[in-house]
Structure 1
Amino acid sequence: MSITLQTTATQRFTALDVFRGITVCFMIIVNTPGNGDTSYSPLHHASWHGFTPTDLVFPSFLFAVGNALIFATARFQQLTQAQVLGKIFKRTLLIFLLGYLMYWFPFVHWNETGQLAANPFENTRVFGVLQRIALCYAAASLLIYYTGWKRALLISVAGLFAYWALLFIFGDTGSQYLLEGNAVSKLDVWLLGPNHLYLKQGTPFDPEGLLSTLPAIANVTAGYAAGYFLQQKGRSYETLAKLLIVGCVLLAVAYAWDLVFPINKKLWTSSFVVLTVAIDCILLALLVYVIDFRRSTQWNYFFQVFGKNPLFIYLLSEVLAILLSFFRVNGQSMYGVIYQTVFQPVGDYLGSFLFAVAFMLLCWVAGYILDKRKIYIRV
């Protein structure tokens, strides 16, 4: 395993850095509330069908992965096919492994008697956020490398229709899109067994499972297409207008598709993909307008810190949260002690939100130190 430390910053697209940074920032906030039961409703995922602002965070990160691929594929032209494939598969394996180890970490837990016991391999979750990022990155990179971004986008769109058909064909009659009996759960249980899956309401079901990764590839290829379009056409009002029009058309398509294929983040339905890509196109256009046309840059740097080391800061946030939950003070986790002592006194909901913001700012400080030292960690 190797992590490259770059001591000089490369030429960057400010709006894309800010877009990535906003995504990571809110990813941390929604993942680390002081108390999940008392989080404000917009900071919760939709319980099943439907959509909340929180549901936009992960697909936006995948969209940003697609944006970043533009720079990687530009370097691919200078490499042999073997070198390109080596880079793609090495990065995929590393990100996937980091995600897997994060769920296993810290490899021990407190048992009912207050003693440390090993976390057994047979109960370790295999798929997850970083794992989906790795698989989508690999699929999108290979498609773009071998077919070009236009064909890659068309193939991933075809994947949305294929996924719709798979859920319908292999789901139990009348419950294709319900928690139990859907094709996503069936494949994961058959492939990995229930002990390697996330438990939702006591049912083995992984929202980042293998089959539901198929439609998520389109979030990455769409991010590539949007970023490529901006770079090739230039940052003009005509370019932004076209990006906004695409976003608005996709919004209409998403809600029309929702009538027959419900928007569902946990199943990552095709209508969910179209909806999130639509919103991301609109948000990216607005960011380019504000940053490059209005020259409003005073607030940029805060999010750029996150955007320059996105995967590292996200992984850092998860590891810190795990460690705070693991270490105990008088039999209670440090995570709970800090929340109840410092933040809960101001109110259950406000305290939970302020805890998440404080945790996010702690991660920002780590990113700030790296940026000031011109260190950019590429996983």
Structure 2
Amino acid sequence: MLSLYRRYADAILAKLNTNRMLALDVLRGLTITAMILVNNPGSWNYVYSPLLHAQWHGWTITDLIFPFFIVIVGMSLQLSLRQHSLNNKGPLIRQALLRSGKLFGLGLLLALFYYNFRDPEFNYVEDRLLTVRWLGVLQRIGLVYLATVLIVLYFGQRGRLLWLLGLMAVYLAGLWWLPYQDAQGHEFRGLLLFGNSFVAWLDQLVLGANHVYYRSATPFAFDPEGLWSTLPAIASCLTGVLMAQWLQSERSLAQKIRGLLLCGVVAVWLAELWHFSLPVNKSLWTPSFVLLSSGYCAIALAACLWLCDVKGWRRWSAPFVVFGANAILFYLFSAVLARILLMVPVADSSLHGWLYNSVFQPLFGDYNGSLAFAVAFLALSYLLMHWCFKRGLILKV
């Protein structure tokens, strides 16, 4: 069995371009794998706490997944610029606009891809189309990517660092000092409550209460991938750009790993200290959350570099290479499959509910059954991703 896996892993790794950074591909694969795992439990009533987001302030390991992906976008962007001349910015900007538009459009399509076949009174136009959630994971990636491309093209290393700090400062200025009012005329300022912050007020004002994720939040409905919190998300992406610049320097691999590890540990330590005055909060994407998540991402990248390039232990990474090579397709497929499982009616439940209640829960129990469902979902997704990888079918947005 072990020799079979070795041959399989060697075949996967042999397909990689020698110019690619294996550690980054592995980290991307680990991140998207974790994202799909936590998004698809058998039952949301039975999920182990580390696989859930923090209720509000604070964090769990699940809260680090999306910012990891944002940081990786920044790293990939900086590394890909080696292949282009920055003197001719026009084509790069047009390509960024197109890519950003595609990501935003795919996010909207996912938001619209649902029909409740079990409810005879379900009206797709009223219940889905006219209440579509404007922003989401793919939309945020698209907006952050476009902004980061423009900053990287027009500013050097010092300018990028100033943009990173400036975006967080502007975000904090709005969060702490800009006043806002609810429908009754009550004025607020500087709050970081669920449904009551400058972030939430702006989302409801611009996007509308029916077009965000937390529609029932009071006094303001808001979106965890909303408008104002996109500013520090761009800062997260810029931390990835700076990490990639460090990796492109002339230093030795050992120095690069030590530098990433040191910066990561310091960033996490500062974020935890800052948490006492500015809470770490994913939904608000607070600057302390930027520090924490980027710090842990730097530590994770250092670990992958040490394992893959220093120790030469690469075979373990093969499945994550497969997932990471087609991260956007993996995300789209999993989201569509998850919705189909919820849409297909079986008895008085959905196919998703029937599979959990009739197969996984009786075999493994409540919590383990819910986790087993997520693992089975991941395994099914891997079969398709592996098939695509073997045939070189990579979705490039």
Question: What TM-score, normalized to structure 2?
Answer: 0.89
Quick one: structure 1 residues 200 and 39, their matched pair in 2 at CA, closer, same or farther if it must change by over 3 Å? farther
Residue 146 of structure 1 corresponds to 154
* 1:350 CA displacement: 0.4
Equivalent residue, structure 2, for 1:4: none
Pair 1:347-2:355 in alignment: no
Residues 115 and 198 (structure 1), Cα distance of their counterparts in 2 relative to 1, 3 Å cut: closer
Structure-2 residue corresponding to 1:28 = 36
2:116 paired residue among 109, 118, 122:
109
Amino acid at match of 2:390: K
- Give 1:70 deviation, angstroms: 2.3
Q: CA RMSD in A?
A: 1.9
Counterpart Cα distance in 2 of 1:133 and 1:149: 22
> Structure 1 222/323 Cα, relative in aligned 2: closer, same or farther at 3 Å?
same
**Cross-structure match for 2:24:** 16
Distance in 1 (alpha carbons) for counterparts of 2:106 and 2:54: 27
Q: Is the 8 Å Cα contact of residues 125 and 197 (structure 1) preserved in structure 2? A: yes
Q: Quote the Cα distance in structure 1 between the aligned partners of 2:228 and 2:345.
A: 38
Higher relative contact order (CA 8 A, sep 6+): 1
Question: For residue 293 of structure 2, what is the aligned residue in structure 1?
Answer: 276
Take 2:131 and 2:123, find their aligned partners in 1: how far apart are those partners? 16
What is the distance in 2 between the residues matched to 1:192 and 1:313? Answer: 28
Question: Are the equivalent residues in 1 in contact too, given 2:178–2:189 (CA < 8 A)?
Answer: no
**How far did residue 163 of structure 1 move?**
1.0
Residue pairs, 1:113-262, within 5 angstroms = 113=120, 117-118=124-125, 119-170=127-178, 173=188, 176-199=191-214, 202-203=217-218, 204-233=221-250, 236-262=253-279
Preserved contact between residue 117 and residue 345 of structure 2 (Cα < 8 Å): no
The separation in 2 between residues aligned to 1:127 and 1:188, in whole angstroms, is 10
Identify which range, 236-245 or 35-44, moves more after superposition: 236-245
* CA deviation map 1:150-199 (0-9, x unaligned): 42232122211221121011356466100122111111111121111112
| 1:38 and 2:46 matched | yes
Which moves more between the two structures, 165-174 or 242-251?
A: 165-174
User: Aligned partners of 2:193 and 2:159: how far apart in 1?
Assistant: 33
User: In structure 1, what residue type is equivalent to 2:322?
Assistant: V
* Residue of 307, 314, 338 corresponding to 1:321: 338
Aligned pair count reads 371
- AA partner of residue 120 (structure 2): T
Partner of 2:182: none
Aligned to 1:3: none
* Mapped contact 2:118–2:345 kept (Cα < 8 A): no
Give 1:316 shift: 1.0
**Matching residue of 1:291:** 308
Task: Tell me the amino acid that sits aligned with residue 350 of structure 2.
Answer: S
Task: Name the aligned partner's letter for residue 286 of structure 2.
Answer: T
Could you tell me which runs of 5 or more consecutive residues in structure 1 were left unpaired when the two chains were aligned: 1-7
Mapped pair 1:338 → 2:355: yes
Cα drift, residue 341 of structure 1: 1.7
By how many angstroms is 1:312 displaced?
A: 1.2
CA contact (8 A) 2:268 2:296 kept: yes
Separation of aligned partners in 2, 1:235 and 1:336 = 53
